[in-house]
Amino acid sequence: MNYRELVTKYKNLCSKNNIPKETAMFYMVELTQENKNNLYMNFENEVPTDFLEKYERGMERILKHEPVQHVLGFSWFYGYKFIVNKDVLIPRYETEELVSNILMSMDDRFDNKDLVICDIGTGSGAIAITLKKEEKDLTVYASDISEDAIKVAKENAKLNNVDINFMVGDMLEPLKDIKLDILICNPPYIPSDEVLEESVKEYEPHVALFGGEDGLKYYKHIFKNCKSYLKEKSFMAFEIGWNQKEALSKELIKTLPEATFEFIKDINGKDRMLFVYFS
């Protein structure tokens, strides 16, 4: 069996199991890169036995709806590699847009990059680490309530060769006397009664997904308590659910009337980012 025949077989099996058929090719590409093989130069060649066995073992897990990133043990985010497992949320492509907009707002609002920032609920550390990679002068804090998540985030900081100040604790609590230029949070924002895809429900940490009955629990907590942790000139950046704009607007006007804010659409035209500005 050659590579083309093998991937065609598993594309068909993916389709039958309600899994995007592109997953079969994505997994093959990642495995061949791991082995430093040029897949496209060898696509019609016979598949070595050891590669065939490894690919088929992995695809059997994927066909049971285990995320391909868990099978690989890593995910890509903003061009950087991140270890992922059951203890952290797999970084989403949509969150890359949040990072891009944070970097642009940083340029617009501050004259220098010697800033203090914190990523609340950091999970794998993807946002915090990426921002530090992109702007070396940042002082970066990252917190999470899960000790297991922080262990993964520390591994990812080491993998990407950056220094991050990691803290374990609930939401803002670990910050204590730290004053921030930028507060970032991609909180759990899924309402508790929402039905999830099987791969998400079975394999990703629920503590990183659900945001209370209306999905707004963690936004409300930060809006209520953030001023103690922010400098006079500062901003906050959040990822949000596509249908939460109206509810969050009302909450902001009620809780932080002195702030200005904007919602930013993602590449699909949905409101997926919230930026809140002070001074």
Tokens of 124: 């794998």
Place of tokens 């904007």: 262
Phi first, then psi: what are they for 166, rounded to 5°? -90, 145
Q: What pTM did the predictor assign?
A: 0.89
- Return the pLDDT at 249: 96
d(CA 142, CA 153): 9
- Return the pLDDT at 176: 86
- Residue of 129, 29, 150 lying closest to 79 (CA atoms): 129
DSSP-based three-state secondary structure for 16: helix
How far is it between the farthest Cα atoms of the chain? 66
* E-assigned strand segments in 169-229: 180-185
- Return the pLDDT at 207: 47
Cα end-to-end distance, the chain, whole Å:
64
8 A C-beta contact, residue 261 and residue 216:
no
d(CA 160, CA 66): 26
- Return the pLDDT at 203: 46
Give 10-residue mean pLDDT values along the chain (279 residues): 96 96 95 77 90 96 95 96 94 94 96 92 97 97 95 98 96 92 86 48 46 72 95 96 92 96 95 96
Q: Residue 179 corresponds to which amino acid?
A: K
For 34, residues 6+ apart whose C-beta sits below 8 A from its C-beta are none
In this structure, what DSSP letter does residue 47 have? P
8 A C-beta contact, residue 152 and residue 85:
yes
What are the residues facing 210 on neighbouring strands?
A: 190
- Residue of 92, 97, 120 lying closest to 271 (CA atoms): 97
Q: Distance of CA 187 to CAs 70, 144, 192, 209, Å? A: 21, 10, 14, 8
Half-sphere exposure at residue 75, Cβ-oriented, CA atoms within 13 angstroms: 21
- Return the pLDDT at 191: 54
- Residue 45's CB is within 10 A of a number of other CB atoms, namely 12
DSSP-based three-state secondary structure for 61: helix
